[in-house]
């Protein structure tokens, strides 16, 4: 018999809407799963059991479903404000912080009927390769608790993989929904910047960071994005968002690259990616090809460092002793940048963007690994080398994902088919801006035809 906790968000929403299942039953089942598993896995910083029960009672008393996610439990990454529910940003500096208002993405989830079960763990301010901070963690991989879940949406990835929630919110700057999704065998979407507005973002035209979602399948990601999308006058990126839902004509054309020509990627990942490409060749025309990404690593380092220093530089001078070493390093990396450094990086970024655009005149989607390495032990805080070759900075292992962040193209990740003895591994499926419908259609096809889909962990 299938457990309630094994149902997808889409299936659960239908069951609640039809009266086959109550929202209270769904909430209690997921709270019980959290009670069973989270002491070991540490996916949640805060669980709002009583708030979720009250919301479920309201849902069950309603005369009709209030929205597409009516009564469905979800997790919210603890970088994102939830009204009246502790939001720590992974930092002891905010351990008692209770926001007065929901972030827009949270408000839209609630409006669609979703019930916030709690806040999922993240490294301090989202900076860290291992999902841990001075409040909670490490968030452990449900397929091997000795290994990392990845950063920085590791709490959301584990909550979904372990059946604590069917759907979770995440954020992604350089790979923060994609890396945990790959490590934990779940699916994720990083949409076109502005697709899910961030009207309180200080830098309105900043497209490096986006909201995203993690789930166990494509249908749930599409549903979540549909209820959270839509323009907001205070987010300039959202104003120009268009929806390109033209179907792929004929047999799909796939460009594949293991590394964008420049990203450090381990031998083991390259081997698994090659096997995935062989499977893809059964349903599409597969051609090795990559945009010209020369200079992308240095470009991202510069832009990211500038953003971090701007956002958190004051904390370094006033609260340094309370910050984690990873946050301190990130802030200091941007302290000496000049305006010329920043503008040169933007110039190179533009050239890389145009190279991506050119590639999509020849391909329907671009496929790359969703992580450069496999999960490593929680005790190791950073990836400093790959296959014995030292990395220049602690963020370079993310190059295979942050290159896509740099240009702002939407990306769907799916876990690939694997043997029982193999660790999870995912692929990035990339399309031009506004082409999320193309990603979902292609992703659904390879879920069904190739078995590129979630496999449940064996939980104790």
How many Cβ atoms sit within 10 Å of the Cβ of residue 111?
14
**Coil, helix or strand for 268?**
helix
Which class for 26: exposed (0-12), middle (13-18), buried (19 or more C-beta within 10 A)? buried
- Angle, helix 218-228 to helix 104-111, in steps of 10 degrees: 110
Q: Which residue has the tokens 């979630």?
A: 454
The residues that are catalytic are 77, 152, 176
Helix axes 339-359, 296-318, angle to 10 degrees: 140
The phi and psi torsions of 188 (rounded to 5 degrees) equal -150, 160
Measured over the CA atoms of residue 37, residue 39, residue 42 and residue 47, the dihedral's sign is positive
Residues in the chain: 460
d(CA 279, CA 409) in angstroms, rounded, equals 24
* Sheet architecture: strand order including 411-415: 44-47, 115-120, 73-77, 167-172, 210-215, 187-190, 411-415, 426-430, 365-369, 253-256, 285-288
């Amino acid at each position: 018999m299938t457990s309630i906790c094994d149902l997808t968000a889409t299936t659960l929403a239908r069951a609640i809407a039809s009266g086959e299942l109550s929202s209270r039953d769904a909430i209690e089942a997921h709270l019980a799963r959290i009670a069973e598993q989270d002491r070991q896995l540490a996916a949640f910083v805060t669980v709002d059991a009583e708030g979720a029960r009250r919301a479920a009672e309201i849902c069950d008393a309603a005369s009709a479903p209030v929205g597409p996610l009516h009564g469905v439990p979800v997790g919210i990454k603890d970088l994102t404000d939830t009204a009246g529910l502790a939001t720590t940003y992974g930092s002891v500096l905010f351990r008692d912080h209770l926001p007065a208002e929901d972030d827009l993405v949270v408000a839209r989830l609630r409006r669609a009927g979703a019930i916030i079960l709690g806040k999922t763990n993240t490294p301090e301010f989202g900076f860290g390769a291992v999902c841990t901070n001075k409040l909670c963690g490490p968030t452990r991989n449900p397929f091997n608790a000795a290994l990392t879940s990845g950063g920085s949406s590791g709490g959301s990835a584990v909550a979904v993989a372990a059946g604590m929630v069917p759907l979770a919110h995440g954020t992604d700057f350089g790979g923060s929904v994609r890396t945990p999704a790959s490590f934990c065998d779940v699916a994720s979407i990083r949409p076109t910047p502005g697709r899910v507005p961030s009207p309180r973002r200080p830098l309105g035209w900043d497209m490096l960071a986006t909201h995203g979602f993690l789930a166990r399948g494509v249908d749930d990601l599409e549903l979540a994005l549909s209820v959270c999308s839509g323009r907001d006058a205070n987010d300039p990126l959202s104003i120009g968002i268009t929806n390109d839902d033209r179907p792929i004509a004929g047999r799909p054309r796939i460009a594949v690259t293991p590394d964008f020509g420049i990203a450090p990627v381990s031998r083991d990942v390259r081997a698994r990616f090659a096997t995935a490409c062989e499977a893809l060749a059964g349903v599409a025309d597969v051609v090795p090809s990559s945009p010209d990404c020369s200079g992308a690593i240095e470009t991202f380092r510069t832009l990211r460092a500038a953003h971090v220093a701007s956002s958190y530089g004051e904390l370094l001078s006033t609260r340094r002793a309370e910050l984690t070493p990873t946050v301190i390093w990130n802030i200091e990396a941007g302290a000496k940048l000049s305006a010329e450094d920043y503008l040169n990086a933007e110039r190179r970024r533009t050239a890389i963007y145009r190279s991506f655009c050119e590639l999509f005149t020849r391909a329907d989607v671009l496929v790359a690994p969703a992580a450069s390495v496999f999960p490593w032990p929680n005790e190791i805080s950073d990836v400093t080398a790959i296959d014995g070759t030292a990395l220049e900075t602690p963020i370079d292992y993310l190059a295979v994902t942050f290159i896509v962040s740099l240009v702002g193209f939407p990306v769907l990740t799916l876990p690939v088919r694997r043997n029982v003895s193999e660790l999870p591994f995912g692929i990035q499926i990339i399309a031009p801006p506004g082409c999320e419908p193309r990603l979902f259609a292609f992703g659904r096809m390879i879920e069904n035809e190739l078995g590129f889909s979630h496999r449940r962990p064996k939980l104790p």
